[in-house]
Amino acid sequence: MGKNHKKIIIAASGAVAMALSLCACQVGGSTSAPAESKAASDTITMMNYPDWIGENEASAFKDETGYTLKQVSTPDGGDSAWVNIIRQNSGSYDMSLAGMKVAETLDNAGLLEEFDASEVPNLKNIDSQYTEAFPWGIPVEQGKIGIIYNKELVSNPPTSWKELFEQAASYSGKLLMPSYSSDVIDVTLLATGHDVNTTNVDDIEEAKQAVLDIKQYVKAFADSDAASQVYDGSAAIAVVYDYDYASAKANGDKVGWVSPSEGMPAYLDGWVPLKGTANLDKVYKLMDFHLEKTNYADFINTTQASWIMQSVTDSLDESLTKNEALNPETAGKTIYGTLQSAEIQQAVASAWQEIQNS
């Protein structure tokens, strides 16, 4: 499950929120450079996270169509670096993996081809709630933030974000929070009764104060080892992504999962066609191939991500379908974050700076 930590990059983390905002300003509207033309070929070049595809998918696609998929690794530096690489190399990539915020930023910058859903008939296999939330291409999987706890240390876990904050003192020195500003602020907005997509800076201020109020009880703002700390008992409870819980649960049944009643901050990842591609017809063929049930099952079984094609469930590994955090039928309410205004991103960045410095 270690490779699932790619979501730290894809999920439009708060650590790069302001950089993303600045990037959007640089590449948006009339400032974006025209796409360079490129000759059509039998090779589709895709920016993708390493191995974030079905184990047999690329070879099966070549066997069926004769087209080769060339995957170029996503850059370090978060979403802003991602967008800038595509902008600076316009026409070099045919398509890209993209989270919702990256996709919207690329679209605003004129760096996407207009997506024609009619060219991807198998898109019908994806529930409409996901296709409506991701209109820039095909949605492929999702992630969400919930609560995990050590069953030996926590007998009565909180059922909501509000309860987690109210009970923080009882977990003093044993509570882990995420290390990314938007993740922390998003769950705190829900805990204080606000929308994760708020447009009111006063809501960010209230969330900041709520975090400051419990910071004395927080062991650490942790990265990918939070789940392992809960599993070994060095922490009692943590706010993590669903794939972190899945990673811990793979070792045994010592860790439980809570889908807070207010809902869980979440995101969709998808595949988008990039401006300037000369292989748009082949990109659509690959997208359609990916959404065939057999190929999509290969993708989910390989990546162990949370799937968005419910009809594929009977083709997935039992360890996935029985995981209450990954299975969309049992995971609980998700709330997708949208691209925020520069004012809100500045407020989040300032709040996070104060939280870190306090």
Q: What angle do CA 238, 266, 203 make, to 5 degrees?
A: 80
Q: What pLDDT, in 10s, does the model give residues 271-306?
A: 999 999 999 999 999 999 999 999 999 999 999 999
Mean pLDDT of 203-211: 98
In this prediction, residues 324-346 reach a mean pLDDT of 92
How confident is the model at residue 12, as a pLDDT? 39
Task: Specify whether 125 is located in the same domain as 29.
Answer: yes
Report if residue 165 sits inside a domain.
yes
Q: Tell whether 123 and 258 lie within a shared domain.
A: no
The 10s digit of each residue's pLDDT in 263-278 is 999 999 999 999 999 9
Residues 222/177, Cβ–Cβ less than 8 Å: yes
Q: Is 323 exposed, middle or buried (0-12, 13-18, 19+ CB in 10 A)?
A: buried
What are the backbone angles phi and psi of residue 237, rounded to the nearest 5°? -155, 145
CB 336 within 8 A of CB 133: yes
72, part of any domain: yes
DSSP string, 133-192: H-TTSEEEEEEEEEEEEETTT-SS--SSHHHHHHTGGGGTTSEEEESSHHHHHHHHHHHT
> How many Å separate Cα 2 from the centre of its chain?
15
Our count of domains for the chain comes to 2
Contact 72, 47 (CB under 8 A): yes
- Are residues 321 and 233 part of one domain? no
In a domain, 344, yes or no: no
Q: By the 8 A CB rule, do 24 and 108 touch?
A: yes
Range of the domain at 303: 2-142+267-326
With tokens 């870190």, the residue in question is 356
Is residue 141 within 8 Å of residue 4, measured between CB atoms? no
Q: Rounded to whole angstroms, what are the CA distances from 230 to 184, 236, 347?
A: 18, 5, 31
Statement to judge: residues 217 and 230 lie in one domain: yes
Q: Are 136 and 232 contained in the same domain? A: no
Does residue 347 lie within any of the structural domains? no
- The pTM assigned to this predicted structure is 0.85
% of the chain residues with pLDDT over 90: 76
- Higher pLDDT pick, 50 / 137: 137
Average pLDDT, the chain: 89
pLDDT at 178 over 80: yes
**Considering 265, 281, 303, which residue would you say is the last residue of a domain?**
265
On whether both 138 and 8 belong to a single domain, the answer is: yes
**Do 45 and 166 fall into the same domain?**
no
Mean pLDDT of 181-187: 94
Angstrom distance (rounded) from CA 318 to CA 299: 15
